[in-house]
Amino acid sequence: VVEQHEHAWLVLFAVSLSSMSVLSNSIGMISLLLPRMMAEFAIDVQSVQWVLTAFMLTMVVIMPTIGWLGDVFGQRRLFLASLTIFTICTFACTLAWNFPSLIFIRIIQGMAAGCFFPLTTPFIFDVFPQGRRGFVLGVSNLTLITGSTMGSLIASTLSDQFGWRWGFYYTIVLCLTSLILGFIVLRDPPRVRAGKFDFAGALTLGTAVVSAVLLVTERDSFLALTTRTFTLVVICVGSAIAFVAIELNTQKPIVDLGIYKHAAFAAGNTLGFIVPASTTAVTLLLPIFLQRLLGYSILQSALLRIPSGLTTAMIGPLTGWLSDRMDPRILIGSGVIGFASVLYAISHLTVQSSATTIASLLVAMGIVSMCIWAPLA
């Protein structure tokens, strides 16, 4: 039985700040800056989406290696080293001289984020007893959402006055605070001797994911049969088949496919893909819609998120508490139905839609998302 660590709440605060910095650079603050980047670099939506895609793609590709990397270097050392690199890259984003340089920095930044972001929950579980974890994760979500909401206001104000590059300075403050606290309070769990790394599995998985993303983000429709799309399909399918074959025949696979035989785990992972993917789509397009079509400033776009942020922050601990005391399928089921309904309503927004309508839909999305995430965590 895990006993609560004397610095448990400081550990929670430290790792929550690091998570906040990742969220700000993936689906939070950074999305508010995209319209300004489009104007400065003279690029379209299909190009600017790579600011998000490059970051999240490399983050996802690196994540399956974290178990092995943690065994080799230690979770504390891996967390602090990768967070340091992430902080440096965040500052480097403010110095980007053209769009390709920004994307290159975002790729490295995403790799660093992929190394420390998955470790935040294990660090929390290591210092809190099992019976309190649902509530604690709810408090963590409260910290994340409140901090992200207030941070977006600060970053938006700076960006409106001095340019989009100033939006990154807020994240640097988060990272430095998390680093200082991490050095002081984080402890390394008992390390397991690292086994042989599944390089073949990692390579085929990364190839499959990257080729799939390149296929979906084709400037021409990915349904059009061109030499490029055909090549990407062959690479994607071939890599995916090779990955499955390798993982089923490897003693220590990078991804244990056997766990997907459990229906609950498979369903949870499916939701863990669909919900963030849908949320990211809204996060990418809504600021562009608000700023380019409705004439909103960056700050006005951020203010529209405030009701959602505050409501979600308040509902977070409640859904965490409920997930400890009721059948999680009830929460998840109601959340999924609500999430689908909200997405349908958002898809019908027009230039005549009022700020109240848009803000209300964002509030609803935040509430139903928490109904899904609290039990899944």
Give the C-alpha separation, 163 to 297, whole Å: 12
- pLDDT at 220 (0 to 100): 59
Please check whether residues 341 and 206 belong to one and the same domain.
no
In a domain, 98, yes or no: yes
Residue 1 falls within a domain, yes or no? no
> Count of domains in the chain?
2
Contact by Cβ (8 Å): 124, 144: no
Q: Would you say residue 3 lies in a domain? A: no
Instruction: Give the per-residue pLDDT at 377.
Output: 63
Predicted confidence at residue 223, as pLDDT, reads 61
Which of 210, 225, 253 terminates a domain? The answer is 253
Question: Structural domain of residue 246, as residue ranges?
Answer: 198-253
Structure tokens at 18: 């690091």
Tell whether 87 and 151 lie within a shared domain. Answer: yes
- On whether both 178 and 233 belong to a single domain, the answer is no
DSSP 277-320: HHHHHHHHHHHHIIIIIS---HHHHHHTTHHHHHHHHHHHHHHH
Residue 319 lies inside a defined structural domain of this protein: yes
* Same-domain status, 238 and 119: no
Q: Looking at the structure, do residues 22 and 163 belong to the same domain, yes or no?
A: yes
Q: Does residue 63 sit within a domain? A: yes
Helix or strand or coil: residue 220? coil
Residues 64, 112: one domain? Answer: yes
Give the CATH number for residue 284: 1.20.1250.20
DSSP 155-187: HHHHHHHH-GGGHHHHHHHHHHHHHHHHHHH--
Q: What is the pLDDT of residue 101?
A: 95
CB 66 within 8 Å of CB 115: yes
Contacts of 21 (CB under 8 A, 6+ apart): 86, 90, 171, 174, 175, 178
Rounded distance between C-alpha atoms, residue 191 and residue 189, angstroms: 6
Cα–Cα distance list, 244 to 208, 254, 266, 289, 350 (Å) = 11, 11, 16, 40, 44
Residue ending a domain, choose from 253, 288, 323: 253
Query: 229, 253, 277 — which closes off a domain?
Result: 253
d(CA 67, CA 45): 36
pLDDT in tens, the chain (377 residues): 455 566 778 888 888 888 888 877 776 788 888 899 999 999 988 888 899 889 988 988 898 888 888 878 888 899 999 999 999 999 999 999 999 999 999 999 999 999 988 888 888 878 777 767 667 776 777 777 777 777 788 888 888 889 889 988 888 888 999 999 989 888 877 666 666 788 888 899 889 988 888 887 775 555 667 788 888 889 999 999 999 999 888 888 888 888 888 877 788 888 888 888 888 888 888 999 999 889 899 889 889 988 887 887 778 777 777 777 777 788 888 888 999 999 999 999 999 999 999 999 999 998 888 888 777 76
DSSP letter for each residue of 344-358 = HHHTT--TT--HHHH
* Residues 168 and 307 grouped into a single domain: yes
User: HEC profile for 62-121?
Assistant: HHHHHHHHHHHHCHHHHHHHHHHHHHHHHHHHCCCCCHHHHHHHHHHHHHHHHHHHHHHH
Give domain status of residue 372, yes or no: yes
The verdict on residue 85 lying in a domain is yes
Same-domain check for residues 220 and 150: no
Cβ neighbours, 10 Å, residue 33: 26
Long-range contacts made by residues 347-355, C-beta under 8 angstroms, separation at least 24? 349/289, 351/293, 351/294, 355/304
- If asked whether residues 93 and 242 sit together in one domain, one would say no
Q: Say if residues 374 and 319 touch (Cβ distance below 8 Å).
A: yes
Residues 235 and 263 in one domain: no
18/147 same-domain check:
yes
How many other CB atoms sit within 10 Å of the CB of residue 307? 16
| 154 and 270 fall within a common domain | yes
Q: Answer yes or no: is 269 within a domain.
A: yes
pLDDT at 1: 44
